Amino acid sequence: MDLSKLNPPQREAVVTLQGPLLVLAGAGSGKTRVITHRIVHLLNERPDHILARNILAVTFTNKAASEMKERLVHMAGPRAQGVLVCTFHAFGAEMLREDIHRLGWPKKFAIADMGDQLAIIRRAMRDHRIDDRAFDARKVLGLISKAKNSGQAPEPKPEGIGDDYDLITHMVYPDYQLALKAQGSVDFDDLLILPTRLLREHSDLYLKYTHRFRYLLVDEFQDTNLAQLELLKLMAGQSKNVCAVGDDDQCIYSWRGAEVRNILHFDHFFPGGKEVRLEQNYRSVQMVLDAANAVIAKNPERKAKQMWTDRKGGPKVKVVACPNDEEEARFVAHEIQKHISLGVPADDIAVLYRTNGQSHPIEEMLREKNIAYEVVGGSEFFDRREVKDVIAYFKVIVNRLDEISLMRIINVPSRGIGDVTVERLHAHSRAEGVTLWTVMRKASEYDDLPPGAGAKVHEFVDLIERYRAAYEAGQLAVATRKLLEEIGFRDATRAHATSATSADKKLKGVDGVIDSLERFEKREGPKASLLTYLNRLSLDNKQEDDEDVPGSNRRVTLMTIHSSKGLEYRLVFFIGMEEDLMPHGGMQGEAQNLEEERRLCYVGITRAKELLYLTRAVTRVKRGKEVPRTPSRFLEDLPEDVIEHVTPDAPRQGPPTTEEKNFFANLKERFKKPQPGTPGGGGVPPGGRAG
């Protein structure tokens, strides 16, 4: 590898291989690049004779992980395949797959999704005679998760402190944990907590894992939470070869438990290491960088950073006030169309927003103009009822203890196992203290079931057992087609749909599952199993990146700022620059966490390489009424000499000006797509994760 592709501090970070190392630096300074180069350097230098499998790199999303892996293979060849690149949660799942039985779970555990979790909580609430309509199970789940992530069981608050929810959470929590374990499941937070327990409580496993993973690298360290830090501290073992990179100004997940202290006090958790600062920004032109610096400078209590770029000048940041939200969308779509016609690849353009709902008007306009786009994380695909039903079949097939899924499908499509039968079966299961499945297997022994019900239950049990064997023999997509055919799933779906179009949509969902299974089998090869598919699905879903949603790569990307972490695009439209949206918060009142909103604004701005649009609507339709909007306070922080005020009608709506044509002709020359294999970082998908 050519170390001359790095600046001196980057090089220092890449070649310092022993002991803790922190790279704390602003956006676009090459932190992610340091990680990839450092891995390649490790593969070349082989300190302690390590192999690829001794390296673990942790990224923030599954998408970032697969992109980093691809890049590594591109840089270092097939030997990089052995490096484990994944998220903390995926790593935890990997460890549990090997050793969870040491904590008393079945080896084939399942990862509960939100639906499963809520069902368990609601049941526990009912058991405690708490009205699950008066109290929101989601809120209880949120509190449980928060407690688990901060490493504590929910405690009852002292008299007078805390509200009903604290009390409910405290009551429900033990039941929730027991129910999960009883059905052989773990929740998302357990993927961090249980591996930590494994390492703490079993010294042989501590030796096994710390010996296997001797070089650890973590990207986006500013957004790690306490549970992740605990796991990392243990995994660091005695040698503490931990390289963490991040930017305290980009901590945007504190609402989900991220602790910026982890990065600010890195030397406390990993003493005796080195700290490297990177100051050159390679991503953005001067105008964009100036805008970003001006916004973030207003945050108190940050580690001040000096960022500079040698990409002087560039076009000014365009600040656009549109009459209303529809016009904002029209303007954005129009500009996108113009830039595409000027030769900017669609996948080098992104539209960023604070909240998911903001994408709809933009989507409509893009569709109208026939511009291909992709909404990251916006797909409700796996929330569709039919899709959930099919997934529930999978879950029961791999784990018959999963009673929540079992209940979902026991009579779907309808097979004559009615409520009375189900109730009686439950009663027997409780009375005998055995699982529902055990009771179902001997259903014909009970004489209190409605006539014929026993036989129907047996048929169902037989169906599940037969398909269990079929799936174990491989060919997941084939088995699924057969299963759906046998139970008449499509016909039933069609019969229940209110119209032909709605039926089509539902069936498309079913096809989508089969397609995604097929892609999964292709990716994983012979080791593809239904269980790993399901676990992969829960991880991906939680992560909100839709690797499994079909799409070509020449598309405009629409996403929230939260999803845009680490990415870069030549053209960025940051929409909805208004109070209440950016910063997001109560009407006119103070945003709940203004500093974090400012960091979000900084993250959004710093995604742009060449050209940044900050758009806002003067009025917005809310619940059928047109409401006046106040410009975002962050706009006021931008120095006048880096911005240009643009009015959305003439001349912007017209054909490109000569000045624009020249500018983009120039850009085209400067940013010709590198061919794979050419120096200078070929192989990075444009608009993909960089570094």
Ligand X SMILES: Nc1ncnc2c1ncn2[C@@H]1O[C@H](COP(=O)(O)OP(=O)(O)OP(=O)(O)O)[C@@H](O)[C@H]1O
Residue ranges of the annotated binding site for ATP are 25-32
Residue numbers 281-300 binding ligand X by CB under 6 A: 282-283
CB of 346 to Mg ion, least distance (A): 23
What phi, psi does 315 have (nearest 5°)? -70, 150
Least distance to ligand X from the beta carbon of 364, Å?
A: 30
Residue 336 CA from chain centroid, whole number = 26
**Considering beta carbons, is residue 509 or 566 the nearer one to ligand X?**
566
Beta carbon nearer to ligand X, 286 or 429: 286
180 — phi, psi (to 5°)?
-60, -50
The distance from CA 245 to its chain's CA centroid, rounded to whole angstroms, is 19
Name the one range near ligand X by CB under 6 A: 6-14, 39-47, 189-197, 585-593. 6-14
- Active-site residue flag, 607: yes
Pick from 64, 173, 262, 150: nearest CA to 165? 173
318 is catalytic: no
**Active-site annotation holder among 67, 187, 190, 219:** 219
User: Under rule CB under 6 A, which residues in 605-624 are in contact with ligand X?
Assistant: 606
Residue 612: partners with Cβ closer than 8 Å, 6 or more residues away = 287, 288, 291, 317, 318, 572, 574, 605
- Tell me whether the omega of the peptide bond preceding residue 651 falls within 30 degrees of 0, making it cis: yes
Closest to ligand X by CB, 7 or 438? 7
The residue count for binding ligand X (CB under 6 A) is 21
The partner in contact with residue 59, picked from Mg ion, ligand X, none with C-beta cut-offs of 5 to 8 angstroms by kind, is: none
Q: Which of residues 449-488 bind ligand X (CB under 6 A)?
A: none
Interface stretch with ligand X, choices 3-11, 381-389, 471-479, 626-634 (CB under 6 A): 3-11
Supply the minimum distance, in Å, between the C-beta of residue 219 and Mg ion. 6
Cβ closest to ligand X, residue 28 vs residue 512: 28
Window contacting ligand X (CB under 6 A); options: 24-32, 383-391, 409-417, 651-659: 24-32
Residue nearest to Mg ion (CB): 32
Secondary structure of residue 84 in the 3-state scheme? strand
27 binds ligand X (CB under 6 A): yes
Q: Is the peptide bond before 583 cis (omega within 30 degrees of 0)?
A: yes
Rounded CA separation 359/101 (Å): 44
Indicate the Cα dihedral angle 669, 670, 675, 677, nearest 10°.
150
Only one of the segments 4-12, 88-96, 221-229, 632-640 lies at the binding site for ligand X (rule: CB under 6 A); that segment is: 4-12
Q: Is 6 in the site for ligand X (CB under 6 A)?
A: yes
Let me know if 220 is a catalytic residue: yes
Amino acid making up residue 51: L
**Min. distance of Cβ 571 from ligand X in angstroms?**
15
Do residues 43 and 80 lie in contact, with contact meaning Cβ atoms separated by under 8 Å?
yes
- Using CB distances below 5 to 8 A depending on partner kind, what does residue 29 bind out of ligand X, Mg ion, none? ligand X
Q: Is 685 in the site for ligand X (CB under 6 A)?
A: no
Please identify which of the residues 31, 63, 71, 555 carries the catalytic annotation: 31
Q: How far is the CB of 20 from Mg ion (least distance, A)?
A: 19
Partner whose footprint covers residue 474, from ligand X, Mg ion, none (CB < 5 to 8 Å by kind):
none
Residue 31 is a binding residue for ligand X (CB under 6 A): yes
Using the minimum distance from each CB to Mg ion, give the nearer residue, 244 or 340: 244
Q: Of 94 and 279, which has the nearer Cβ to ligand X? A: 279
Q: Which residues are annotated as a binding site?
A: 25-32
Query: Which lies closer to ligand X via its Cβ, residue 527 or residue 670?
Result: 670
**Is residue 302 a contact residue for ligand X (CB under 6 A)?**
no
Q: How far is the CB of 11 from ligand X (least distance, A)?
A: 9
Residue 566 touches ligand X, criterion: CB under 6 A: yes
The one catalytic residue among 38, 456, 599, 607: 607
688 binds ligand X (CB under 6 A): no
The one among 1, 7, 274, 411 contacting ligand X by CB under 6 A: 7
Smallest distance from Mg ion to CB 109, Å:
32
Residue 54 vs residues 42, 83, 217, 582: alpha-carbon distances, Å = 10, 7, 11, 43
By C-alpha distance, which of 236, 184, 187, 199 is closest to 89?
A: 187
**387 dihedral zone (left: phi>0; alpha: psi -120 to 50; beta):** alpha
- Residue 309's binding partner among Mg ion, ligand X, none (Cβ under 5 to 8 angstroms by kind) is none
Question: Considering CB distances under 5 to 8 angstroms, the limit depending on partner class, which of ligand X, Mg ion, none binds residue 30?
Answer: ligand X
The one catalytic residue in 116, 190, 220, 249 is: 220
Q: With beta carbons less than 8 A apart as the criterion, state whether 14 and 34 touch.
A: yes
Count Cα neighbours of 42 within 13 Å in the Cβ-side half-sphere: 32
Q: Which does 314 bind (CB under 5 to 8 A by kind): Mg ion, ligand X, none?
A: none
In angstroms, rounded to a whole number, what is the distance separating the alpha carbons of residues 276 and 178? Answer: 46
Contact 346, 554 (CB under 8 A): yes
Long-range contacts formed by 292-298: CB under 8 A, 24+ apart: 292/27, 292/602, 292/605, 292/606, 294/637, 294/638, 294/639, 294/642, 295/598, 295/601, 295/602, 295/605, 295/634, 295/637, 295/638, 296/249, 296/598, 296/599, 296/602, 297/637, 298/598, 298/637
Q: Which is nearer to ligand X, 283 or 388 (CB)?
A: 283
Residue 14, interface with ligand X (CB under 6 A)? no
Q: Which does 7 bind (CB under 5 to 8 A by kind): Mg ion, ligand X, none?
A: ligand X
28 binding ligand X? (CB under 6 A): yes
* Residue 10 lies near ligand X (rule: CB under 6 A): yes
Residue 381 or 671 having the CB closest to ligand X: 671
Instruction: For the CB of residue 211, give the shortest distance to Mg ion in the complex, in Å.
Output: 29
Q: CB neighbours (10 Å) of residue 495?
A: 11
Based on the residue annotation, tell me whether 565 is a catalytic residue of this protein: no
- Cα–Cα nearest to 252, from 605, 606, 599, 604: 599
The 10 Å Cβ neighbour count of residue 146 is 17
Specify whether 337 is catalytic.
Answer: no
| Interface region with ligand X, contact rule CB under 6 A, candidates 23-31, 223-231, 480-488, 671-679 | 23-31
32 is catalytic: yes
Residue whose pair of structure tokens reads 């327990």 in the numeric block? 197
Contact residues: Mg ion, CB under 5 A: 31-32, 566
Minimum Å gap between C-beta 414 and ligand X is: 51
Q: Which of the residues 245 through 284 are near ligand X (CB under 6 A)?
A: 247, 250, 282-283
Classified as helix, coil or strand, 70 is helix
CA distance 85 to 69: 6
Toward ligand X, which CB reaches closer, 249 or 328? Answer: 249
Closest CA to 638 of 321, 300, 317, 247: 317
Site for ligand X contains 222 (CB under 6 A): no
Using the minimum distance from each CB to ligand X, give the nearer residue, 278 or 457: 278
Nearest to 593 by CA among 285, 176, 260: 260
Pairing of strands 625-628, 608-622: antiparallel
Interface with ligand X, residue 33, by CB under 6 A = yes
**x-or-dash pattern for ligand X, window 655-684, by CB under 6 A?**
--------------------------x---
Residue where the block lists tokens 């049990």: 461
Decide if 193 contacts 227 (C-beta within 8 A): yes
602/580 Cα distance (integer angstroms): 17
The residues carrying an active-site annotation are 31-32, 219-220, 250, 607
* Interface positions with ligand X (CB under 6 A): 5-7, 10, 27-33, 247, 250, 282-283, 566, 568, 606, 681, 690-691
